């Protein structure tokens, strides 16, 4: 049995020398190297930005969606959307474990264990025999497939107290609530854009928990369904509905709503442009949307020296960096790392702590 590179370099076909995520094509043969794990895959949870793009390109036609997913995997050896660059994650059972995987990360792991990978499908060697059910509303696709997990790849053994599809949905966005828990402090004003989706709702829970009774949590969502879910959660002090690709409109509605909630004067007009005091803006903005061009809405709503966490895979670094510069905003912008220490445990714990969210997610994902 051949020895593999811990980061999967041995699987890269082109360009040579790149890491698997950056590679255009990787080797998706399913004979494992001595430090790999072979997984019998049951379900793919496609990244939201990627699945939205695929659905739109295929006009919602399930047969075309199947064909597009198969074409991507056959050409690239992995499920990496060439438009968004993103992937998703998978759920399955361990079929084989390389004999050199003896470290603490893999201690106690056994063939037959049910796991969810916590690394992106955009770097995971994947071979699909067939595609079964496509759950359009939840971005999940049932498959008869196999995949490879590298030595450096992280994963979570699926818990026994939740349905597998529910666990998969939560773990897919585990980085978002974990990072929210790190960023939000007591008394903070927090704006969550895309609050009605699964990552947004998990972030709402952590924002409410961390900001406390002295903080203010504002939820913004585009769809009627998202607004209904936010209201059902009971986690937001202020709920706004609208289009986050219209930055000035969102900014005006946000500052007006915050001023009204606090009983203070609304924003002023300075030199023909809208402006608000820092205490009428957000300390923390969490962006969870799955469409492009929402960077400026996040930037305008953040106070100077505040923080934006761009969890969305639709985020453009160029638009965010140059946009903040263009409006003179001195703010910290964090690109959403899908991994944070203990993020899987934190995300699953949200549902154990919050019966309303657990009931809601169970309806949506089981």
- End-to-end CA distance of the chain, in Å? 40
Angstrom distance (rounded) from CA 146 to CA 152: 18
**Is residue 275 very low, low, confident or very high in pLDDT (cuts 50, 70, 90)?**
low
Say if residue 5's pLDDT is above 80.
Answer: yes
H or E segment and range at residue 116? strand 114-117
Q: Where are the alpha helices (DSSP H) in the chain?
A: 48-57, 62-76, 164-172, 175-183, 198-211, 224-233, 247-262, 295-300, 317-326, 343-353, 355-365
Angstrom distance (rounded) from CA 135 to CA 163: 16
Please give the DSSP secondary-structure letter assigned to residue 261. Answer: H
pLDDT tens for residues 175-205? 999 999 999 999 999 999 999 999 999 999 9
Say if residue 271's pLDDT is above 90.
Answer: no
Angstrom distance (rounded) from CA 92 to CA 135: 17
State the pairing for strand pair 238-241/268-270: unpaired
The pLDDT mean for the chain works out to 93
Give yes or no for a contact between 209 and 354, defined as CB atoms under 8 angstroms apart: no
pLDDT tens for residues 54-86? 999 999 999 999 999 999 999 999 999 999 999
Say if residue 268's pLDDT is above 80.
Answer: no
pLDDT reported for residue 312: 84
156 C-beta neighbours (distance < 10 Å), count: 22
| pTM (predicted TM-score) | 0.85
Instruction: Tell which residue, 224, 128, 334, has the closest CA to residue 232.
Output: 224
Bigger pLDDT: 263 or 38? 38
Where residue 139 falls (left for φ over 0; alpha for ψ -120 to 50; beta otherwise) is left
**Is residue 104 very low, low, confident or very high in pLDDT (cuts 50, 70, 90)?**
low
Domains of the chain: 9-158 (no CATH), 175-357 (3.40.50.720)
């Amino acid at each position: 049995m051949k020895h593999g590179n811990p980061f999967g370099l041995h699987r890269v076909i082109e360009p040579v020398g790149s890491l698997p995520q950056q590679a255009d094509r990787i080797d998706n043969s399913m004979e494992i190297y001595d430090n790999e794990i072979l997984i019998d895959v049951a379900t793919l949870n496609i990244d939201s930005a990627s699945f939205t793009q695929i659905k739109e390109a295929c006009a919602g036609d399930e047969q075309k969606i199947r064909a597009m997913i198969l074409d991507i995997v056959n050409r690239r050896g992995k499920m990496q959307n060439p438009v968004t660059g993103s992937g998703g994650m998978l759920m399955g059972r361990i079929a084989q474990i390389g004999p050199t995987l003896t470290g603490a990360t893999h201690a106690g792991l056994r063939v037959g264990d049910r796991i969810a990978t916590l690394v992106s499908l955009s770097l995971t060697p994947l071979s699909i025999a067939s595609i079964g059910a496509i759950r359009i509303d939840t971005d999940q696709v049932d498959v008869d497939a196999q995949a490879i997990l590298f030595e450096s790849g992280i994963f979570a053994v699926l818990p026994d107290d939740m349905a597998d599809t529910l666990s998969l949905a939560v773990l897919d966005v585990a980085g978002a609530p974990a990072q929210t828990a790190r960023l939000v402090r007591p008394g903070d004003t927090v704006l969550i854009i895309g609050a009605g989706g699964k990552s947004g709702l998990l972030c709402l829970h952590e924002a409410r928990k961390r900001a406390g009774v002295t903080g203010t949590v504002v939820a913004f969502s585009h769809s009627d369904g998202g607004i209904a879910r936010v209201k059902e959660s009971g986690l937001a002090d202020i709920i706004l509905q609208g289009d986050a690709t219209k930055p000035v409109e969102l900014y005006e509605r946000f500052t007006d709503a915050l001023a009204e909630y606090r009983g203070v004067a609304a924003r002023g007009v300075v030199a023909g442009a809208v402006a608000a005091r820092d205490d009428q803006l957000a300390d923390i903005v969490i962006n969870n949307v799955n469409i492009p061009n929402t960077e400026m809405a996040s930037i305008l709503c953040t106070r100077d020296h505040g923080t934006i966490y761009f969890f969305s895979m639709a985020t453009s670094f160029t638009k965010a960096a140059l946009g903040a510069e263009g409006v003179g905003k001195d703010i910290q912008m964090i690109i959403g790392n899908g991994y944070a220490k203990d993020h899987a445990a934190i995300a699953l714990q949200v549902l154990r702590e919050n019966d309303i969210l657990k009931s809601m997610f169970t309806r949506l994902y089981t």
